[in-house]
Structure 1
Amino acid sequence: MSVRPDNRLEDTPMQQVRCRACTASVTARKSSWDQTTIQWHDDAVEACLERRAASPRPGPNGGTFSGCQELRQSIREAAVAGTLEVVSHEPLPVNPEAAFAGHDQAAH
C-alpha cells in the first residue's frame, strides 16, 4: 500500500510562527478557527519555556507534551492579525476566545 500525499499543503503551506514568550519558532497551519496544526522542531522544543517547566505525568504517555499556552496565544494573534492565513476564510468568530478554548490540535 502506498502513502497518499497530503495535497492540502500545496494550496496553503505551513507558515513560521514565533512564540511571543520565548521566541521558539514552529510552523503552523490553521485550517479553520477551530483547527490548528503545529510542527515542532528540535530547536523550538529546546527553547520553549513551558516545555522545560512541564513535569512528566504518570502513565505510558506521561512524557508527552500537550502544548504551550503562550505559543497557542501567539498563533491566535497571528491569525487575527492576518499574518497566519485561516484556510477556511471564515470570519473571525464573534467570541474568538471561545473558538480557541480547548480546540487546538498539535502535531509533535
Structure 2
Amino acid sequence: MMRLDNRLTDGPAMRPLACDRCAARVLVRKSSWQQTSVQWDGRATAACAERGPSGGAFEGCGALRDTIREAALRGALPLVDGTGDVAPPS
C-alpha cells in the first residue's frame, strides 16, 4: 500500500501571492527550495504579463518565480520542509 506524504496535508496551506510585476494573484506553497506548487485561476492567467493571451503551452513566469523566491527569503512564504533555512542552498 502506498502512503501519501503528510507534508501536503499537515504543512502550511497554499497562500495567496501577487506577482510584483503584473499583480497576477496565485496560490503558492513552497515545499522546499527546490519545489514550489502554484495554482493559477482564470483571472491570474489573464493578468500575467509573461503568460500572454494565447493560453498555449507555458513553462512558467520568471517575474512570478522571482516574487515567490523573495517572499520565501523574507519569511512571508514558509517552507513546508521545516528546515528553518532562510537562504536557498548554494
TM-score computed with the length of structure 1 as normaliser: 0.68
Shift of 1:9: 3.7
Local SS of the residue matching 1:78:
helix
Moved over 4 A (4+): none
Partner of residue 18, structure 1: 18
Distance 2:17 2:40 in 1: 11
TM-score computed with the length of structure 2 as normaliser: 0.81
Q: What do you get for the CA RMSD once the two structures are aligned?
A: 2.4
Distance 2:22 2:45 in 1: 11
Higher helix proportion: 1
- Gaps in structure 2 of 5+ consecutive residues: none
Structure 1's 68 and 37: CA in aligned 2 closer, same or farther, altered over 3 A? same
Distance 1:29 1:22 in 2: 20
User: Which protein has the larger Cα radius of gyration, Structure 1 or Structure 2?
Assistant: 1
- Gaps in structure 1 of 5+ consecutive residues: 57-62, 96-108
Amino acid corresponding to residue 81 of structure 1 in structure 2: R
Partner of residue 44, structure 2: 44
| Residues 95-106 of structure 1 aligned to structure 2 (within 5 Å) | 95=90
Percent of aligned pairs sharing the same letter? 44
